[in-house]
Amino acid sequence: MSHLTRICRAESVVRKKRLRILWLCFAVILLALPLVTSNFGITILTQICVASVFALAYNMLLGQGGMLSFGHAVYFGLGGYASIHLMELVGNGVPVPLVLTPLFGGLFGLIAAFLIGSFSTRRAGTVFAMISFGIAELVAASAIILVSFFGGEEGVSSDRTMGPAFFGYEMIPQIEVYYFAAVWFFLATYAMYHFSRSPAGRLANAVRDNAERTQFIGYNPQKIRLVSFVASGFFAGVAGGIFAIQYEIVTDSNLNTAASGLVMLQAYIGGIGYFVGPVIGAIVMTLLNTVVSGVTDLWLLYTGLLFIGTVLLAPNGLTGLIMMHTDAYHNRKLATLIKPYLLGMLPLTAAFIGVVSLLEMFSHRNEAAVGDDSMLLFYIDVDISTWFPWVGFTLLSLLGLAGLRVVIPVVRASWDAANEMQILSNSTINNESDS
Amino acid sequence: MFETIIFSLLNGLVYGLLLFLLSSGLTLIFSMMGVLNLAHAGFYMLSAYFAYSISIHLGFWYGLLFAPLIVGFIGAMVERYGLRKVHKFGHVPELIFTFGVAFLLEELVQFVWGRNQLAYNKPEILEGSLFTLFGADFPIYKMFMLIVSVVIFIILLSVLKYTRTGLIIRAAVGHPNVVGMLGHNVPLIFMVTFGVGTALAGIAGAIAGPVLGTYPGMASGLGGIMFVVVIFGGLGSLGGAFIASLMIGLIQTFAIAIDASLSDVFLLMDIVITEQTFMYDIWVTSLSQVAPLIPYLMMVVMLIFRPAGLMGARES
Amino acid sequence: MSTAISLSDLKKSFGQMEIIRGVNLDIRKGERHAIIGPNGAGKSTLFHLISGHYQPTSGKVLLNGEDISGVMPHEIYRKGLARSFQVTNIFPNLNVYENIRCGALWSCDQGYSFWRQVDDLEDINLKTEQILEKINLTHRYKVSASLMSYAEQRALEIGITLAGGAQVIMLDEPTAGMSIGETEQAVELIRSVTEDKTLVIVEHDMGVVFDLADRISVLVYGKIIATDSPSAIRSNKLVQEAYLGTEMISDA
Amino acid sequence: MNKLNVMLLGAGSLVLAAGFPVVAQAGTVKIAYIDALSGPFAATGQAGARELRHAISKFLEGKEVAGEKLEVEFLALDGKINPKESLVQLQNAISQGAEYIFHNSGSSVAHAIVGALEKHNKRNPDNRALYLNYGAIDPSLTGSKCSFWHFMIDANVDMKVNAMVDAIAAKPEIKKAYIIGQDYSFGKAFSAAAKRYLAQRRPDIEIVGDQLHPIGKVKDFAPYAQKILRSQADVVLTGNWGADMINLAKSIKDIGTQASIYTIYAYGAGISGVVGESGLGKLSVVAQGHINPANTPEWALYKDEFLAKHPGNDLINERTVYGVQMLGEAFVKAGGTDPLKVALALEGLEITTVSGDKVMMRAKDHQMQMPLQVMAHVKDGIKYDFDQSGYGVRTTSTVAFESNQLDSVCEMQRPL
């Protein structure tokens, strides 16, 4: 056994141990979360579970397999429809515990993905993206016309409590639905992680990087893509099944192009290069959709800005921003970054408050009643009929932006320093490609 | 029957040529840059809004003139400060970026102009009907749209055929690297291309706004159809886009005019479809109901069997 | 002596241009065979034809006596022929270890399996580690392939090609763009890793060719004008004519 | 290894996500409004929120209920006129403590909300919610699919079409009718009602077309206008709303047919302005509310106040106000805001609205009974125009409360 082999084995053991602890932590957190939150919190958490499973499934394509799909909600939706119909069957006396619904939704998504994937995965890139888009439009349009399966505009509804109880568990209150979603979230995440470490998962990475080359190591790129696509369709269907149980309705908007766009946004904002990226994206987007949308009408505008900002400034997503610090962390240099970051936060916060306030004031001026000139911005009461807040927030924005120009080089220098040291001291543990 | 055909033909032609105006810009951008601009319909919408704002202050004709210019400029800036940054990461991030721009444009328009449909009106001189055929009026404005589209098509064609710029563009379609090798300033060409492409969408927006409505949803349906046109016609082929635009325009209008469904076909064969028949809803769905679905079917079938499209010069 | 690869009247045209104009060649099992020729002679095209990257216009390619013309590249690989590329063709965002491991997957009987865990597959990891040792990239195993030096990437390219344990190895200009020192190392590497295997190599560096090859074929304008031992090739009139004024066989 | 850190971080964010405390204040009633606040139909939804907010501030806020002054918390949620999105928001609303759900557009949404509330109220008897629907008027909502928890504060399609056919029946010159609508439950219900009532009232009128088109997707209505022209219809009956109404009206005008148009949503939210001249003398609307003239001074005052507060906007859905008024009366009658008690109090409740109409919530099917107005799209002689265009509608005739009471097939499942 060589030196390397020994290192690898040792690392592998440590890694597995850490992973086990991590999965345990993940499970405990999922179980414990409802204890510290409200009804609304539980509703949000359930949504996050569904969104996360779907976004993770989507990233099996985009992040892991390099396939950009504009129509992945098709498999989510079809899985959902199948689940709803299963619920109806159960209501009519077919004895299946409804906690298994997502599995059924998954199988349906899998079959659909296999049928469509068998021709759409022949190519990657723009052609694949456009086929997925065309299919999504087709399926969404058919969903309105074919009433017997899709229920038209109204969609299909059912009742989750009609089936036989599963060990006394009937999914009546929201909290039971949360635990149902959480368990499936855990299982699906585990399975998808498992997939990413399997030969098929590794090959998906290979075909993403260089499809031509995979032919010359004995694999058919189309088949690799198809395997990923089918697996992704399965998990999308699972997510659709959880959704069907939570809301007891599935409609065409579960599978239209807008739904497909949303999941892409989630995965990308979270970071498609990392396994957990989509989960973070799902959390952020769900919070925007539920919490921020309750605070401001402009939340979609902010979502758009966040997305464009991510594409331009942080192509590795929010997770990428965090992962930028692994080198510094390994080098125990994180502490040196605190001061420059705090310094950077100052103008960033100023610019953020300034710009957001200007947007909000503009929107308030257009939308609100005359005489309703006062509004609350960041805990400050503002009267928009006077010139003061307009000038003030403009100045704040400009000041913040100017400050950023000054501070960014400083922050960058300290970041470089924290990471550079590492290359000198420990060149082997550099840049683990972690995809 | 005859009058239906004539009018469907005319309406299809107007709609098809509008589609061509839109997709010509998209095709131009794709030819030069290899980018399928998902935000193209967004620029079309933006231009209609600008044209509306200008038209209430200066009049329709100024709107028609300036709105596409403004939108072209904005397009160029989007290329310069956005697209160029993601260009180096490949086509997938480019697609994602343009998707983001499309998303943002729709929100931005609502933020600035509000959510109502705007009363963007035709100018007095183009009101009224041009001629009456079988009792139906053909509006002057539709003829105006037709003429603008045709003029733009001719201009584009002659620029491509007879100018040096056209030569570069035609070279780029088949061999994207050759332009750089010839010593041209590629980033500048890209920026200008994107600007011109979006300005073409801008012209379409400025002339379509008064008839098809100026509202935040005006881009959403058209965006998809536009991709169908460029993909069906062949990515990067102006001629293909022209044929595909007309085809889709005509198919869409004729499909609406025909009320037949598959059950009518069965009836001819003495098979009666009732509510008990298997997959009842498919058989009784009339052609006019599935009209919006046809273009996507065409696109998917084309992509599967001939990804290069009708007259495609190259695959992506 | 049996043949590993046999080409009979192989032709390939692109549109009007005929690039390969009827090649007949037998490569024996276990030999190191070099293909040389001036630029544009069609060497890489010939490689693409054998490995299935291009379909021949006419003619046949036999691998161990089996007709493989028109067979998909991955099928050819599975029959025991692996190749490298002239322009580095690796998996840029995977690290070195994963690059090699991907190359070894098929030979360890891993199809498109999604239930096994690569980390748990002892045989495959052992094989990967052996290859890493051979190509001297052991210490770099965690580095992302795109961040490595050019010479390292070339070594990795060869490593991926070898990882599957194919009996016929085809290397397309493995030392292109390397410094003299690097080239020497690369030659040693190639020599050691192709022990007991059939090697087909395209190379511009005549030093490498004459150092490595048991036999040499000269390809000029899509035709083989000579196949012989290195010393015979060196004195071949036709070959000298073909190379006259372009590259001298003795230098470079 | 890096993954581990990130996963922990993700888990941390989950904790954050959960941490949003929602505390329901005692003594207040939470009212949620679910409609399209973004997307292609946002104009209508935003207007609805504005009007509802104003009506609540006038008729609920501070109202004395069981000796206490009522406090109202208003939540506006974006349901995108989509059943699924609306149910997501419904769950958000209920979990934040909302007990009264107002909703305007989309019959498919209404069916979804009814279904969801039936289940929710059965499963959570301590946490019930009522649904006040003032715009989704598929007749099956108060017919075959009626629900105890649902109250329709608008005339349903049958009632409106009945009134519409009344007006048409009075014109003997009309011989041919063309029906066109959006391809979903509402459009189909409209078409069915139109055929039924025309056959009853004017069997001599020939129905020369019955067309459904995809909702919100048609860019150019010229081909449809061509079909209408070819059919030589004297009158077009449509339930279209939003952009589909505007573009249809414009295309019909462009093609030069003499047909008049009868519809139920053709003013405000941009429609009056865009239809403009093309609708003069052609467009009639059947709706409920006293737009021009305002009927009572109180009503004029209310409108003036609203318009002064929201210049550039219009008061479109006048029934919103009646619904809020009625809810206020029900609170008083029930002596509190408990949804079950309020539901029972609403049944059979009769009030006179601020505009002087007598309206009644029929206990049998929870369908509000009310008079309807037939209005013409006009330019002159009106005080309240729409879209700052000078165009608006004026009442030409009224269908009285008594003459528009239709029977219902509703068999309501009552709790208890």
Please report the DSSP string for D261-289 in residue order.
Answer: EEES--SSTTHHHHHGGGGTTTEEEEESS
Which of A26, A42, A370 lies nearest to residue D11, judging by beta carbons?
A26
Dihedral pair phi/psi, residue D68, rounded to 5°: -120, 150
CA distance B264 to D362: 44
Please report whether residue A246 resides in a domain: yes
Neighboring chains of C (3 or more beta-carbon pairs < 8 A): A
Q: Which of residues 265-284 of A touch C (CB under 8 A)?
A: none
Place of tokens 């511009």: C204
Same domain, A242 and A190: yes
**Alpha carbon D346 to chain centroid, angstroms:** 19
Dihedral pair phi/psi, residue C12, rounded to 5°: -145, 125
Given a cut of 50, whether residue B316 has pLDDT beyond it is no
Better-scored residue on pLDDT, D239 or B316: D239
Q: What is the pTM of this model?
A: 0.89
DSSP string, A194-224: HHHTSHHHHHHHHHHH-HHHHHTTT--HHHH
Bond before A199 cis per omega within 30 degrees: no
Please report whether residue A3 resides in a domain: no
| Interchain contact, B288 vs D211, CB within 8 Å | yes
CA distance A210 to A222: 12
Which of D20, D46, D77 lies nearest to residue A291, judging by beta carbons?
D20
Give percent of chain C with pLDDT exceeding 70: 96
The alpha-carbon gap from A349 to the nearest alpha carbon of chain B, in Å, equals 23
Which of A127, A146, A366 lies nearest to residue B307, judging by beta carbons?
A127
Number of H helices, E strands in chain C: 9, 10
Which of A77-86, B83-92, B133-142, C141-150 holds the top average pLDDT? A77-86
> Would an 8 Å CB–CB cutoff place A174 in contact with chain D?
yes
Q: What pLDDT is attached to residue A344?
A: 85
CA angle D192, D198, D202 (to 5 degrees): 165
The alpha-carbon gap from A276 to the nearest alpha carbon of chain B, in Å, equals 20
Whether A130 and B36 have beta carbons less than 8 Å apart is answered as yes
Q: What is the mean pLDDT of each run of 10 residues along chain A (435 residues)?
A: 64 82 91 84 91 95 92 95 92 83 94 93 86 90 84 83 70 85 94 92 92 90 94 96 92 88 93 92 91 82 92 89 83 81 87 88 75 71 79 88 87 82 42 39
Residue type, A43: T
Residue of A nearest to B38 (CA): A130
Mutate to test the interface with D, among B109, B215, B293, B294 (most CBs of D within 10 A): B215
Crossing angle of helices B40-57 and B91-113, rounded to 10° = 30
Tell me the three-class secondary structure of chain B, residue by residue: CHHHHHHHHHHHHHHHHHHHHHHHHHHHHHHHHCCCCCCHHHHHHHHHHHHHHHHHHCCHHHHHHHHHHHHHHHHHHHHHHHHHHHHCCCHHHHHHHHHHHHHHHHHHHHHHHCCCCECCCCCHHHCCEEEEECCEEEEHHHHHHHHHHHHHHHHHHHHHHHCHHHHHHHHHHHCCCHHHHCCCCHHHHHHHHHHHHHHHHHHHHHHHHHHHCECCCHHHHHHHHHHHHHHHHCCCCHHHHHHHHHHHHHHHHHHHHCCCEHHHHHHHCCCCCCCCCCCHHHHHCEHHHHHHHHHHHHHHHHHHHCCCCCCCCCCC
Q: What pLDDT is attached to residue C135?
A: 84
Which residues make Cβ contacts (< 8 Å) with residue B231, sequence separation at least 6? Answer: A130, A134, B299, B302, B303, B309
DSSP string, C107-168: GGT--S-SSS-GGG-HHHHHHHHHHHHHTT-GGGTTSBGGGS-HHHHHHHHHHHHHHT--SE
Place of tokens 């009842």: B280
The alpha-carbon gap from A432 to the nearest alpha carbon of chain D, in Å, equals 9
Q: What is the pLDDT of residues C76-100, one digit of tens each?
A: 999 989 999 888 889 998 989 999 9
Cβ-based interface (< 8 Å): residues of D facing B: 38-43, 46, 183, 211-214, 216-220, 222-224, 226-227, 229-230, 243, 246-247, 250, 254-257, 269-271, 273-274, 276, 387, 389
Residues in chain D, overall count:
416
**Domain regions of chain C by residue span:** 1-74+199-252
Alpha-carbon distances, residue B7 vs A184, B136, B226, C160, C211 (angstroms) = 57, 9, 23, 65, 80
| Interchain contact, A247 vs D91, CB within 8 Å | yes
- Beta strand extents in C68-190 (DSSP E only): 81-83, 168-172
CB atoms inside a 10 Å sphere around CB B132 = 11
Residue of A nearest to B87 (CA): A312
The alpha-carbon gap from B79 to the nearest alpha carbon of chain A, in Å, equals 12
Q: What pLDDT is attached to residue A426?
A: 41
Same domain, A310 and A337: no
User: Within 13 Å of residue C247, how many CA atoms lie on the same side as its CB?
Assistant: 13
Residues in chain C, overall count:
252
The residue among C188, C193, C184, C216 whose CA lies nearest residue C203 is C216
Same domain, A309 and A330: no
Q: Give the pairing type, strands D283-287 and D372-378.
A: antiparallel
Mutate to test the interface with A, among D3, D215, D305 (most CBs of A within 10 A): D3
pLDDT confidence band for B174 (50 / 70 / 90)? low
The alpha-carbon gap from B1 to the nearest alpha carbon of chain D, in Å, equals 9
Domain count, chain A: 2
Please report whether residue A68 resides in a domain: yes
CA distance B177 to D69: 75
**Chains D and C, touching by 3 or more CB pairs within 8 angstroms:** no
Query: What is the largest distance, in Å, between two alpha-carbon atoms of chain A?
Result: 81
First and final C-alpha spacing in chain D: 59
Q: Which of residues 91-150 of B touch D (CB under 8 A)?
A: 110, 114-119, 121, 129, 132, 135-137, 139, 141-142
Indicate the helix (H) or strand (E) that contains D332: helix D319-334
CA distance A30 to C140: 38
For A354, the domain range is 326-429
3-state secondary structure of C251: coil
> What number is the average pLDDT over the span B155-182?
73
Same domain, A178 and A41: yes
| Interchain contact, A29 vs D14, CB within 8 Å | yes
Ramachandran class of D211: left when φ > 0, alpha when ψ lies in -120 to 50, beta otherwise: beta
Given a cut of 90, whether residue B278 has pLDDT beyond it is no
3-state secondary structure of A422: helix
CA distance D118 to A102: 24
| Interchain contact, B256 vs D224, CB within 8 Å | yes
Residue type, B255: A
Indicate the helix (H) or strand (E) that contains C210: helix C206-212
Which residues make Cβ contacts (< 8 Å) with residue A85, sequence separation at least 6? Answer: A149, A156, A158
Whether A95 and A167 have beta carbons less than 8 Å apart is answered as no
Q: What is the pLDDT of residues B220-261, one digit of tens each?
A: 778 888 888 888 888 777 888 889 999 998 988 888 777 777
CATH of the domain at A293: 1.10.3470
Neighboring chains of D (3 or more beta-carbon pairs < 8 A): A, B
Q: What pLDDT is attached to residue A168?
A: 66
Same domain, A162 and A225: yes
Indicate the helix (H) or strand (E) that contains D397: strand D392-399
| Interchain contact, D20 vs A41, CB within 8 Å | yes
DSSP string, A115-169: HHHHHHTT--HHHHHHHHHHHHHHHHHHHHH-HHHH-GGG-EE--TTSS--BTTB
The alpha-carbon gap from D187 to the nearest alpha carbon of chain A, in Å, equals 11
Q: Which two tokens stand for residue B314?
A: 């190259």
Dihedral pair phi/psi, residue B137, rounded to 5°: -85, 145
Residue of D nearest to A270 (CA): D10
Set of chain D residues whose Cβ sits within 8 Å of the Cβ of B3: 230
Q: What pLDDT is attached to residue B50?
A: 95
Which of D91, D185, D308 lies nearest to residue A154, judging by beta carbons?
D185
First and final C-alpha spacing in chain A: 28
Given a cut of 50, whether residue B81 has pLDDT beyond it is yes
DSSP string, D172-208: TT--EEEEEEESSHHHHHHHHHHHHHHHHH-TTSEEE
Residues C1-74+199-252, CATH architecture: 3-Layer(aba) Sandwich (3.40)
Residue of B nearest to D268 (CA): B116
Q: Which of residues 191-210 of A touch C (CB under 8 A)?
A: 194-195, 197-203, 205-206, 208-210
| Interchain contact, B213 vs D230, CB within 8 Å | no
Given a cut of 90, whether residue C117 has pLDDT beyond it is no
Give 3-state DSSP helix, strand, coil % of chain D, rounded to 5.
40, 20, 40
Which residues make Cβ contacts (< 8 Å) with residue D398, sequence separation at least 6? Answer: D371, D372, D373, D374
The alpha-carbon gap from D415 to the nearest alpha carbon of chain A, in Å, equals 18
Dihedral pair phi/psi, residue A108, rounded to 5°: -65, -45
Residue type, C128: T
Which of B111, B114, B315 lies nearest to residue A301, judging by beta carbons?
B111
Which of D10, D18, D215 lies nearest to residue A45, judging by beta carbons?
D18
Q: What pLDDT is attached to residue A165?
A: 67
Set of chain B residues whose Cβ sits within 8 Å of the Cβ of D246: 117, 213
CA angle D380, D383, D386 (to 5 degrees): 80
The alpha-carbon gap from A59 to the nearest alpha carbon of chain B, in Å, equals 14
Residues in chain B, overall count:
316
Same domain, A281 and A378: no
Which of D107, D115, D311 lies nearest to residue A157, judging by beta carbons?
D115
Q: What is the pLDDT of residues B124-134, one digit of tens each?
A: 888 777 777 77
Residue of C nearest to A216 (CA): C74
Q: What pLDDT is attached to residue A425?
A: 40
CA distance B146 to A218: 56
pLDDT-flagged residues of chain D (< 70): 1-27, 40, 416
Whether A92 and A216 have beta carbons less than 8 Å apart is answered as no
CB atoms inside a 10 Å sphere around CB B310 = 17
> Would an 8 Å CB–CB cutoff place B103 in contact with chain A?
yes
Q: Which of residues 67-96 of C touch A (CB under 8 A)?
A: 72-74, 77-78, 82-83, 85, 89-95
Whether D53 and D45 have beta carbons less than 8 Å apart is answered as no
Place of tokens 């090739």: C233
The residue among D248, D199, D217, D146 whose CA lies nearest residue D191 is D199
> Would an 8 Å CB–CB cutoff place C111 in contact with chain A?
yes
**Alpha carbon C220 to chain centroid, angstroms:** 19
Q: Which domains does chain D have, with CATH numbers?
A: 28-155+292-370 (3.40.50.2300), 157-287+372-403 (3.40.50.2300)
Residues in chain A, overall count:
435
| Interchain contact, B103 vs A261, CB within 8 Å | yes
> Would an 8 Å CB–CB cutoff place A430 in contact with chain C?
yes
Same domain, A304 and A348: no
**Alpha carbon B214 to chain centroid, angstroms:** 16
Residue type, B132: T
Helices (H), A248-333: 257-270, 277-287, 293-295, 299-313, 317-323, 326-330
| Interchain contact, A276 vs D6, CB within 8 Å | yes
> Would an 8 Å CB–CB cutoff place A73 in contact with chain D?
no
